[in-house]
Chain A
């Protein structure tokens, strides 16, 4: 069995830490069953990069793993210790972190798609714009989901317009910053090099290349 790498150790450590926080928070009576389940889900999600790597599906770059773990950790802590309710800007912090993470993932997905699927090619500037637009779509979609759930079930997921707009503002700023950052990262390292380092499983590659001939695009992307 291969030795654990630093990012795998970080993932497992974070999962264990969140598990400990779950137990502490529940036993101390700080949180209830809903928050406990949420925390357990966060702990399980921390192991996803490790599972993907060990199964040969995908190898995420180190900075991505750190970003994912940070987003999960802040959310788990907020849920288990009610920081969302007690700290005014905690929701904004987690929204920004999550948006940066998802934005980076969206950008990377588009780059992989571009490398493996000849029917799709965008200039670097258009790639950043497209990535930001898709992130905005996800943000709006989530707010719409919360609104529809509130109307149909009488819950209070969405709160006031001020809360909604603060979330949207954080998402917009984060998506724009992440798109710009990813553009610089991909330009610096090279799209082909990054995609190569992901070691995407051949089945996944075939899925991405569906509709194309599956061969690499000969055109230099960046």
Chain B
């Protein structure tokens, strides 16, 4: 069996399982992250470009799902600014998944000639995608906070530190997207510099 297709199948199955587990725990935003991952994984067929990213890059899409499922098995008790460490860990996994999904799409588009981009721009656009997704997360999280009964308006804030705690929950994904997204973009750029840019993608056999 084609190694590329095997890696893609593993990544897709893990992403779907993760989404199912996340929904059962009430973490519905993973549906959006997983949908983007599945689009990226099926992009060679969707775009009919005849090109796909190399298996080494594709393999990175497995890690976020594994990382998140491992985090779900751990009972986190620590908090940072009133927000559970689990929220930050989950936000990191989301950032990684969206970054990789965006990178696959951007790299394939570049290889088809529909855009001309350097390695740096590919990394920056992937990071911008992760941050944009985190902005969408803020809207979702607000609705979740509303239905969970958290204080949301200035009049609702009773105890000092209420606003820091609730804003912290709202900003968990954006914070990870910007901080860790920047690191991911830099690391991706450095890794990509090791090989010619044409070797990021290959023709579909």
Contacts and interface: CB of A to CB of B under 8 A. Distances in A.
A140 B130 CA distance: 11
Contact of A119 (B116, B132, B163): B116
Contacts of B109: 126
B87 to A, nearest CB: 14
Interface stretch (A11-19, A33-41, A58-66, A161-169): A161-169
A142 B107 CA distance: 29
Nearest to A119: B118
A122 interface: yes
A141 B178 contact: yes
A168 B128 contact: no
B58 to A, nearest CB: 23
Nearest to B160: A154
B108 interface: no
Nearest to A211: B118
A182 to B, nearest CB: 17
Interface string B87-118: 00000000000000000000001000011111
B157 interface: yes
A28 interface: no
- Chain B at the A interface: mostly helix, strand, loop or mixed? helix
B107 to A, nearest CB: 14
Interface stretch (B6-14, B20-28, B48-56, B148-156): B148-156
Interface residues of A, number: 34
Interface in A154-188: 156, 158-165, 168-169, 172
A147 B168 contact: yes
B139 interface: yes
A156 B154 CA distance: 11
Interface residues of B, number: 37
Contacts of A165: 138-139, 142, 170
Nearest to B175: A144
A120 B132 contact: no
Given A120-B118, A121-B115, A123-B115, A150 B128 contact: no
Given A120-B118, A160-B156, A143 B174 contact: yes
Contacts of A162: 142, 152-154
Contacts of B129: 133
A136 B116 contact: no
Given A159-B163, A164-B170, A140 B131 contact: yes
A159 B135 contact: no
Contact of A161 (B128, B134, B166, B178): B166
A165 B81 CA distance: 20
A172 B134 CA distance: 12
Given A136-B131, A161-B152, 6 more contacts: A119-B121, A121-B115, A140-B131, A147-B167, A160-B157, A160-B163
26 contacts: A119-B116, A120-B116, A120-B117, A121-B115, A136-B128, A137-B131, A137-B132, A140-B134, A140-B138, A140-B177, A140-B178, A144-B175, A147-B168, A150-B163, A151-B164, A160-B151, A160-B153, A160-B157, A160-B163, A161-B142, A161-B166, A161-B170, A162-B152, A165-B138, A168-B139, A211-B118
Interface of B: 81, 109, 114-118, 121, 125, 127-129, 131-132, 134-135, 138-139, 142, 145, 151-154, 156-157, 163-164, 166-168, 170-171, 174-175, 177-178
